[in-house]
Amino acid sequence: MRKNEPLNHFLTHRFTVGFDLDLTLVDTRPGIRAAYVALAAATGTHIDVDVAADHVDVPLEQELRNWFPEDRVPRARDICISGYPRHGITLSQAMPGAHGAVAAVRALGGRALIATARHSRNARLHLDHLRIEPDVVEGSLWAADRARALRRYDTAVHVGDHADDMHGARTAGALAVGVLTGTCTEETLRSAGAQVVLPGLAHFPAWLHHYLTTPPRR
C-alpha cells in the first residue's frame, strides 16, 4: 500500500450518508408548535400544542386524528402543510454540530442525503434558512418508504435520533448511527438496530473520518 492511499474503499468511491431532519439536524419543535397554534386558530379547534409539538416523530395525519374527526383530517393536513413556511421555519434552530456533520460528509467526498418524514418543500426551507447544504433532500418518508429511499441512493451510513431511523437504516443495509438528541434512549436505539450511538452530531465528523480510514476487520 502506498503512503497516503485510502485504507477504506469508501474513500475511492462516492459514498452516501443519510441524515434524519427532526431532532437530528434541526430542532423543529418550536416551529411545529407555532404551526399547530395557527392551525387551531384557523379551524377553531382545540389542540394541545405542547403535546402535539412533542410528537415530532408521529406522522402528521396520525397526530391530527387526536384533535380532528376523520373527515376533517385531510383539510387540516393541507392547512398545516401550506401554512408551515409562514409559521414554522424561522423559529426552528440547527441542532449542535449539524453544519459540521453535513460538511464533513461532503469534505470527504461523500453525498449528504436528507431522508425525512417532513414534507420535502418544508424540509428544504428549513435547510436553506439554516444554511445547511446537503446534496439531496427526500421528504414524506415513513417506515418502508424511508428504507427504499436509502437503498435507492446506496446509502452506506444513516444517522438519526429515533428508533424508526435505525429500523430504516438496517432494512436498507446501511450502518445505523443513532444520536441522543431526540426522545429515544441509547437502549431504545440499540434495541432498534443502532450499531453506533453518539451523544450528538458534534461527535460525528471525527467518528466518520475514523470509520472511513480504518481498515475493515477481517
Kindly report, residue by residue over 19-57, the tens digit of the pLDDT: 999 999 999 999 999 999 999 999 999 999 999 999 998
Q: From CA 47, how far away is CA 65, in angstroms rounded? A: 11
According to DSSP, the β-strands at 93-94 and 26-27 are antiparallel
Residue 186 has which C-alpha cell? Answer: 441509547
Give the rounded percent of residues in the chain with a pLDDT score beyond 90: 85
Q: Which of 94, 138, 135 is nearest to 116 (CA)?
A: 138
Q: Which of 171, 134, 164 is nearest to 19 (CA)?
A: 134
Confidence band, pLDDT 50/70/90 cuts, at residue 13 = low
Q: Which of 26, 99, 42 is nearest to 34 (CA)?
A: 42
What is the b/e burial string over 162-184, where b = at least 16 CB atoms within 10 angstroms of the residue's CB?
bbbbbbbbbbbebbbbbbebbeb
Q: 9-27+93-213 has which fold?
A: Rossmann fold (3.40.50)
7: helix, coil or strand?
coil
Whole-angstrom CA distances from 208 to 50, 114, 181 are 35, 17, 18
In tens, the pLDDT along 147-194 reads 999 999 999 999 999 999 999 999 999 999 999 999 999 999 999 999
The residues spanned by each domain of the chain are 9-27+93-213, 29-87
| pTM given for the model | 0.90
